[in-house]
Structure 1
């Protein structure tokens, strides 16, 4: 037995849905406005995870124009033992204005977890967070939150269950309303069904996806209920165990439920898995705020907790509490020599035909017409698209930020001719919130300069007074991220030293709580990305060639030494 440290998957990896097939564990996570959509991670020991593939990568979905934090929500993985097929259910959240929350839900299947996957099968538009349950008799059931938009009714709605024909997605016999939750935390969503001994167990996320988040559970001997709540009348897992009455409240941040004694926050929205040795774990979302703040730039990550069934047949944490822990016991049969952070560092020298599968693009699909490794050998060529304020065609290649201390580095060959053309390196949350060090033309368009452009809550800030003239030829760019502060550096061809563009930026607003939310609510829940990209609002014909892309997650002390050296 060894110790597993949380998170098991760092950076944007929320709403984890975990399954085991043989000796392999798989987790699917949400991707919102990012393509390719729906990440699937793989492990053989529950500790060391790696990105295996993405599911929606062949134009199955159009995410152009998606407002934060809509898009692809809460994918649910399942495995039908009778047919040996993998199933994936998900919601495409298209509108959240007016709290209408319009979403279409679909299911897909595959004989291999890596695909190919079937075309999406339409299920319903009744709400969001669908999950599939394959019963022992071969029947299939769909559970989902029915979104409530009427004034005076319990928000956000009821959990409903129906039998479903997976050949065509048709609902059989109508919907059965089963519960509005098993505790007083409210905001229940993400229903998932399990069968253990003589009972069906219904697991729910509750309390909103902020600091009051948790997992609650009920059970019934009939799949359509009635379901009795866990006898504690409290979540079975949370970061904030204190009692909360919030029935009818919107999905708010609940900052008053922040637990200063917990190393991990927001634990909730989880799924259950059984090991071959009959040990039980819940994979769940969690967050790690910046020190001395309630801001979470890394978004919601994936954690793990060990569970047991008590003598009364209820699921509980192994220590008898309901407080999510930063460390957890591994399965007894697993000895972990070293737990490697999941996909912590990223490096691609672009020598292969395909680029690293960690690269994701907001809103638009990746296509060889604007990003490829074929036209410039040993480089990634990116053609300039819309400005980065665009939710349609930004030319951005990004990877999830997975640490609060890291560096990102690249080398760019780029020759702009029009003031709208640029190429560079930066940080990105969504179209309204990013920070971009870019090569662009000087004011007279007769030379190149290096200048920083910022989007903050939808407003544009161009730091033209700190621009730097740069010579012709390749330019290396580096950003240093240290607990929410960002320093940009550059190095021209032949130089042996890094030069700093200007003083460090406060980038703490690039966090779930710092973007465009209403007071008391979380503005987003998608997480920070690092990116390389290019713009061209002239003819979309200019391009930048990137020689490499490297992300190095570092200890706090190492980052501090790098910054201290830069200051000198």
Structure 2
């Protein structure tokens, strides 16, 4: 039997950025950012580094997280998951502002004895910056680390990495605050994680921004508060000088050891569409194998092999799509759900909603047996209260379908199926009525602040929601089946009254708008594509829409 098995990157496809990893015995856990999506923080579990399943979103109640009003791509940034003293420790940031000079980033700390249990009430830590982490030193002390955000326009806003001690007894940060690392010339230094090995404190950071110049930097010191020396080998991981690689935007990540002592890193990455620097799947999580050198510096195994074979063209570590890992016992999980029904009193873990800790205000799984009922709330672009339930896109090509019963009474009521990136970038196949009460199906799109060419007539002005004027009239009553077909760059919408005879709406939509890089909106963004069900009632009458099923099927 081979001593290795091959893992295909990314290991967590779809919107799963800023990974933090911990190994506990023969179990591996990865926590990733969720931004404005609720509940906060995704935690995946694996036993073989190849097969992963979502097991928990711990920030699931108001005392732990309330994001109503948070702008797009604010909310939960870069959690840090560790395990020490028999329990899990989670550090997280709730960012309240994106634009302007300030970030208003509040950092909190929660713990739990089991990964899927009820996490403790949060401890407030500080608000000086984002990307916080917690380091458990071998002398029993705990240290809190975060980047500092400098709001002054004449300064480097990424002002360095701060270190301060945390007192468990007092449940607060204590002692002096020290800036221990200002970063390299690549700048934009963030995402600190700390490790200790052979008498050195190692500081792992991300630099270069989270787009195509992203990188992972390592520095070390004999003293926890520095000074820290930069890795002489260059960046531990980056694709910034190799735009032809399948994995781009590689950086922000974390390190861990498998039970056999082999070291690995998990890292952020993106897969742009062919011919486009756009990633509808968002920022994903990849895995790379690493080796410690005789000089006590960590390097990618691929970089060491390339150098040994005389093939190295760079001192930086380059990401690989396929990685050989230790041949741990194969541990697959049950197959992923493709067709979701709503017979349970709990929503399937694949689904999330936006910002609010009170989903009962806009959804019910008990009001009508076997249905997800959405109660019409604010517009689909609202930052406060909206009725939208969706799941991640995890493949470049997929088909999503839902079965809707909806009887709108006025033009301000609508419900349907949406491919959604954020409040300024989405495509929406919706059912509503005209002024005469005639029910119809049509498409609404919002393209951010892009000047993309459109192949359909627009009803509204630029930088808002566009209606295609391709409506089809529907019977006054009865189920409507709605379908989205996504094939890399292209999206088409379809409807049916019997789930057999389908009508395609006569527009081909540019699906690349569902990405970080397209249509800037109010700035760069950090999430990924979702597809799901929505209902709006901007008249305030709280209309209801009942969904009997939802299907998400990946296409080859």
* TM-score normalized with structure 2 length: 0.91
Contact 1:133/1:141 (8 A) holds in 2: yes
Per-residue CA deviations over 1:221-255 (Å, capped at 9, x if unaligned) read 111111111112x2111122x4xxxxxxxxxxxxx
Root-mean-square deviation over aligned CA pairs: 1.8
Partner of residue 292, structure 1? 275
Distance 1:167 1:300 in 2: 38
Partner of residue 482, structure 1? 487
Partner of residue 453, structure 2? none
Per-residue CA deviations over 1:53-94 (Å, capped at 9, x if unaligned) read 1011111222112112211100000111xx211100011111
Per-residue CA deviations over 1:117-154 (Å, capped at 9, x if unaligned) read 11110111111111001111111001110112234433
Distance 1:45 1:3 in 2: 11
Contact 2:426/2:513 (8 A) holds in 1: no
Distance 1:279 1:347 in 2: 39
CA deviation after TM superposition for structure 1 residue 430, in Å: 1.1
CA deviation after TM superposition for structure 1 residue 366, in Å: 4.8
Partner of residue 41, structure 2? 38
**Match for residue 443 of structure 2 among 444, 447, 452:** 452
Residues 135-174 of structure 1 aligned to structure 2 (within 5 Å)? 135-174=137-176
Partner of residue 332, structure 1? 327
Partner of residue 512, structure 1? 516
Partner of residue 11, structure 2? 8
SS at match of 1:2: strand
Q: Is 540-549 or 467-476 further displaced after alignment? A: 467-476
CA deviation after TM superposition for structure 1 residue 469, in Å: 2.9
Per-residue CA deviations over 1:438-466 (Å, capped at 9, x if unaligned) read 11113311x31111111222412112343
Unaligned segments of structure 1, at least 5 residues? 243-258, 556-568
Matched, 1:29 2:12: no
Partner of residue 382, structure 1? 374
Distance 2:255 2:541 in 1: 47
Partner of residue 507, structure 2? 503
SS at match of 2:420: strand
Partner of residue 396, structure 1? 388
Q: Is 505-514 or 186-195 further displaced after alignment? A: 505-514
* TM-score normalized with structure 1 length: 0.89
How many correspondences in the alignment? 526
Per-residue CA deviations over 1:308-336 (Å, capped at 9, x if unaligned) read 10111100001226001111112134457
Contact 1:239/1:262 (8 A) holds in 2: yes
**Match for residue 54 of structure 1 among 50, 54, 57:** 57
Distance 1:369 1:124 in 2: 31
CA deviation after TM superposition for structure 1 residue 531, in Å: 1.3
Distance 1:106 1:454 in 2: 37
Partner of residue 253, structure 1? none
Residues 110-259 of structure 1 aligned to structure 2 (within 5 Å)? 110-181=112-183, 183-232=184-233, 234-240=234-240, 242=241, 259=242
Unaligned segments of structure 2, at least 5 residues? 305-315, 449-462
Per-residue CA deviations over 1:288-319 (Å, capped at 9, x if unaligned) read 11111001111100000000101111000012
Distance change (3 Å), C-alpha of 1:167 and 1:482: farther
SS at match of 2:384: coil
Distance change (3 Å), C-alpha of 1:538 and 1:343: farther
Distance 1:536 1:484 in 2: 31
Contact 1:515/1:524 (8 A) holds in 2: no
Per-residue CA deviations over 1:500-524 (Å, capped at 9, x if unaligned) read 1222111212210113257xxx621
Distance 2:160 2:87 in 1: 30
